[in-house]
Amino acid sequence: MNVAVRSPAAKPDAAALKAQAAKLRGKIIEMSHKAQAAHLASSLSCADAMTAAYWHVLNIDPKNPTDPLRDRFILSKGHAAAALFATLAMKGYFPIEELDTYCQDGGRLAEHPPANLLPGVEAATGSLGHGLPLGCGMALAGRIKGENYRVFALLSDGENNEGSVWEAAMFAAAQKLENVCVVVDYNKWQATARSNETLMLAPLRDKWAAFGWDAHEIDGHDVSALAEAMQNIPNGSGKPVALIAHTVKGKGVSFMEDDNNWHYRAPTAEEVVKSFKELGLS
Amino acid sequence: MRNAFADELTKLGNEDSRVVMLSGDIGNRLFDKFKDKHPSRFFNCGVAEANMMGVAAGMAMNGLRPVAYTITPFVTTRCLEQIRTDVCYHEAPVTIVAVGAGLAYSGLGPTHHACEDISFLRSIPNMVVICPGDAFEVRGALRAAMQQDRPVYIRMGKKGEPVVHKGPIADFKIGKAITIEEGSDVCLLSTGNMLPEVIEAAHKLKEKGISAEVVSFHTVKPLDEDKLKQAFSRFKLVATIEEHSLIGGFGAAVSEWLVDSETQHKKFLRFGTPDAFFKKSGEQEYAREVLGLTGHQIADKIIHALS
């Protein structure tokens, strides 16, 4: 067994993580404004989970992005690419200035994460329902090769509409993939409607539990709680772990929160200034 | 063919610890030897082909050489998006093996027929498409696929087909067709499980005094262009034979090659997107410019062809 070296299970620094999440949100808002790109609210809702993963949980080295023993993080909700790109740049996978090329002609930062093009992107996503099957394959590859890395997949709640998610959920449970963790960004919206009015997800925790997962509900904006839960993978249950993270779409900016128009809208320059004030960045 | 596949897979599993077998809940007892020897490298993924293909891609992206296997429509059409996006876009070295291609499972009805799969799979960038003509070609194809660092699709018949080759094919190469019988009048290009029928056709032609060459064109993508050049220059007539729709299959692939070939008198020009993913971001006009599909680029090419 090739054992990945993990940082000790330090208590998350709540204030530092919170400040980092605000910075991440600011960068995402800047990117959305400059590119006039959609999916801003979806990116903001998962910013705390991204912060917990990349600034506290993942065993990764941006200077060695293909280290076989690294933890894998898959942004299965690929439309939140801005959150992933900003995170990777802030972690040093590529120059922060490259974020200015988001959605620009000839750039590497398209509206969804690309395959084999950008360091730190583990899987091309954008078509929903692919991240967890890929993650299960990655986890099994680790098991077969005796490498005990962990695999995290961040799913949107709308993504739980896809049958392939539940195929993978059953598969992971059957294979006892205790190194696999799903975080569902449960912001109660999908592209055009309330998620529970589209396909009934509730009770979502019970559904994942019924599929054989160790499933928990969690405040998806409590970065420290997310960090502690994700850090504790595998958690001794012998099962894959699902964290149903209750979130607010557009979280962090009062005039975007829970307003689904921001699934497609991009902010004006004035709205950027206003957002930054609310985030304590100006 | 499927027994040859299972047997060769077991040998490959013994030789290479990266070989992993994924089955969509079929092949009862077929893989017992593999399972006995390598229990940690066999997965019955259940009747859930989309997940199976994603799992295979995830494994391949992390250093393994998975084989994903089930009945043709379910390992192709059922999970076509996973093949395109998870396997081919990532250039993941997954070998997809389909059993019962064409009308091999005719009796099971159209849900189990597969006369469109070549068309679907050969249009996906990075995919190799192999249609072995007999059990020995299945063994050669599987062994060659495992040495690839890219996706490969192998389209088999079922079991009990006549064996054409006299023994193992030592020099089986992806993209290199095999001449089975030499001739001088007509060239019969066979792909997949039609090979025995084509040989029979050649023998009947011989009785009529027509000398037919028979070629097993086991790889539909990439095509053996040298063989095609020879065929179209040497013979009065060239025919393609396949158990697959004429739309998008082997014959269509050869037709496309003919139109594009530098060796042919050109009467047609084709425009379209190339066999590659457009990876970078950009607006529609930018993409068209890069791919040579703007109005002025198209006009330039037409003018050049006319001059």
Question: What total of structural domains would you count in chain A?
Answer: 1
Q: Does B66 touch chain A (CB under 8 A)?
A: yes
Per residue in A56-107, pLDDT (tens digit) is 999 999 999 999 999 999 999 999 999 999 999 999 999 999 999 999 999 9
Q: Which two tokens stand for residue B50?
A: 């989309």
Per residue in A4-15, pLDDT (tens digit) is 555 556 899 999
Is there a contact between A250 and A277 (Cβ–Cβ < 8 Å)?
no
Cα–Cα dist A121/B245, whole Å: 39
Q: Does B42 touch chain A (CB under 8 A)?
A: no
Per residue in A148-176, pLDDT (tens digit) is 999 999 999 999 999 999 999 999 999 99
Min Cα distance B81 → chain A (Å) is 9
Q: Which two tokens stand for residue A160?
A: 């739980």
Residues A217-223, mean pLDDT to the nearest whole number: 98
> Tokens 């076989």 — which residue?
A68
Return the pLDDT at A9.
66
Q: Does A232 touch chain B (CB under 8 A)?
A: no
Say which of A114, A139, A142 has its CB closest to residue B279. Answer: A114
B212-216 and B178-181 strand pairing: antiparallel
The amino acid at residue B128 is: V
Is there a contact between B59 and A137 (Cβ–Cβ < 8 Å)?
yes
Q: Is residue A229 part of a domain?
A: yes
Q: Does A171 touch chain B (CB under 8 A)?
A: yes
- Sorted by where each starts, the structural domains of chain B and their CATH numbers stand as 2-155 (3.40.50.970), 178-306 (3.40.50.920)
CATH number at residue A239: 3.40.50.970
Would the CB atoms of A171 and B86 count as touching at under 8 Å?
no
Would the CB atoms of B59 and A116 count as touching at under 8 Å?
no
How many Cβ atoms sit within 10 Å of the Cβ of residue B306? 7
Beta bridge partners of A198: none
Return the pLDDT at A215.
98
Q: Is residue A177 part of a domain?
A: yes
Question: pTM of the prediction?
Answer: 0.93
Would the CB atoms of A140 and B55 count as touching at under 8 Å?
yes
Q: Is residue A1 part of a domain?
A: no
| A121: closest chain B residue by CA | B90
Is there a contact between A103 and A109 (Cβ–Cβ < 8 Å)?
yes
| A163: closest chain B residue by CA | B50
Indicate the average pLDDT of chain B: 93
Q: Is residue A105 part of a domain?
A: yes
Min Cα distance A19 → chain B (Å) is 31
| B287: closest chain A residue by CA | A105
Min Cα distance B36 → chain A (Å) is 16
Indicate the average pLDDT of chain A: 96
Cα–Cα dist A182/A190, whole Å: 18
Concatenated DSSP letters of A61-75: -TTSTT-TTS-EEEE
Would the CB atoms of A144 and B281 count as touching at under 8 Å?
no
Angle at A162 between CA A213 and CA A132, to 5 degrees: 50
- Kindly indicate whether the ipTM for this predicted assembly is greater than 0.85, answering yes or no: yes
Lowest-confidence pick of A161-170, A215-224, A241-250, B289-298: B289-298
Angle at B236 between CA B233 and CA B239, to 5 degrees: 90
Helix axis angle, A163-174 to B49-60, nearest 10°: 70
Q: For residue B198, give every residue at least 6 positions away whose Cβ sits within 8 Å of its Cβ, in sequence order, or none.
A: B188, B190, B214, B241
Q: Is residue A4 part of a domain?
A: no
Among candidate residues A103, A192, A179, the one with its CA nearest the CA of residue A139? A179
Full residue range of the structural domain in which residue A73 is found:
14-279
Positions of chain B with pLDDT lower than 50, given as ranges: none
Cα–Cα dist A64/A76, whole Å: 22
Say which of B59, B66, B82 has its CB closest to residue A130. Answer: B82
